[in-house]
């Protein structure tokens, strides 16, 4: 494939984004303004799935993290969530429930829950216990601790999880046409109608969309990070943290010594 031919394909892909043209076998028009509809549908199903996943996973994860239960659930959820192929998940729903917007949204919601839940849980757990004790000393109880101390400190990690899920959902929504949802995956899966240029164009738009979502949520994550927590990521800062941390070898020996029964 010569460089010119390669660039030519991308040039043709940009053309099908900008102008409508006849489908591969003729008869219908594809491309042009149709992309807006496809992008809209893609964002719609992603937003719905993410919203439902947040509504389920955030309260559950924050609560379990606050009371300190459910460690096993959090870790196994994360592992299983990673191992189940998204394609198998969608296929499972097509086989058992059928095609349609609702079914794809359900599959995507299931996909989005593990990272949000795990990060909500871990975010709450990793709050410094001393700080929580200080809060208790100040007279805060239950909900006060959650709102004043744990939640603000857990937010960055929680939003990190939401960000991961958002990108995953946008990426997996590309499989929508398999289950009858006409989103940006349509030109990719139906290349016989849109042509290889249409397919390439869709791939380009999906990639840009995913990067856009990542940047948007990264910005959101930065916005909710309390000023004091914004990590000092310079080389000096890293060395400082490294020196401050106890060495693993002495630590484990001490642990062993301490845990003999």
Interaction mask 94-123, another protein, x per CB under 8 A: xxx-xxx-----------------------
DSSP 176: G
Stretch that binds another protein, among 50-58, 87-95, 131-139, 224-232 (CB under 8 A): 87-95
Cα dist from 184 to 10, 137, 175, 199, whole Å: 17, 54, 9, 9
Cα dist from 142 to 57, 100, 145, whole Å: 20, 43, 5
Contacts with another protein in 31-70 (CB under 8 A)?
A: none
Contacts with another protein in 134-193 (CB under 8 A)?
A: 167, 170-172, 174-175, 177-178, 180, 182, 185-186, 188-193
C-beta separation of 216 from 170 below 8 A: no
Residue 63 neighbours by CB under 8 Å, 6+ apart: none
By CB under 8 A, residue 245 contacts another protein: yes
Binder among 20, 69, 230, 239 for another protein (CB under 8 A): 239
Interaction mask 192-231, another protein, x per CB under 8 A: xx--x--xx-xxx-xx--xx--x-----------------
Binder among 67, 80, 134, 138 for another protein (CB under 8 A): 80
- Taking the complex as a whole, the smallest distance from the CB of residue 150 to another protein amounts, in Å, to 25
Cα dist from 170 to 43, 81, 85, 159, 173, whole Å: 7, 16, 15, 16, 5
């Amino acid at each position: 494939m010569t460089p010119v031919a390669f660039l030519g394909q991308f040039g043709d892909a940009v053309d099908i984004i900008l102008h409508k043209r006849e489908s591969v076998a003729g008869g219908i028009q594809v491309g042009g303004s149709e992309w807006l509809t496809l992008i809209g549908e893609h964002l719609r199903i992603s937003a719905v799935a993410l919203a439902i996943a947040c509504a389920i996973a955030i309260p559950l994860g924050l609560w379990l993290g606050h009371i300190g239960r459910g460690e096993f659930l959090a870790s196994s959820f994360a592992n299983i969530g990673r191992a189940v192929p998204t394609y198998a998940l969608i296929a499972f729903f097509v086989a058992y429930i059928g095609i349609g917007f609702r079914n794809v949204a359900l599959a995507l919601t299931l996909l989005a829950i593990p990272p949000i839940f795990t990060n909500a849980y871990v975010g709450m757990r990793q709050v410094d216990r001393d700080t929580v004790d200080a809060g208790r000393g100040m007279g805060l109880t239950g909900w006060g601790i959650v709102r004043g101390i744990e939640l603000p400190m857990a937010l960055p990690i929680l939003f990190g999880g939401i960000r991961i899920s958002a990108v995953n959902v946008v990426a997996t929504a590309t499989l929508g046409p398999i289950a009858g949802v006409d989103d940006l995956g349509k030109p990719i899966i139906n290349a016989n109608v849109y042509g290889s240029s249409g397919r390439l164009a869709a791939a380009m738009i999906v990639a840009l969309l995913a990067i856009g979502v990542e940047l948007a949520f990264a910005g959101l994550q930065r916005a909710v990070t309390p000023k004091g927590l914004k990590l000092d990521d310079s080389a000096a800062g890293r060395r400082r943290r490294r020196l401050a941390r106890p060495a693993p070898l002495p630590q484990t020996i001490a642990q062993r010594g301490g845990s003999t029964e």
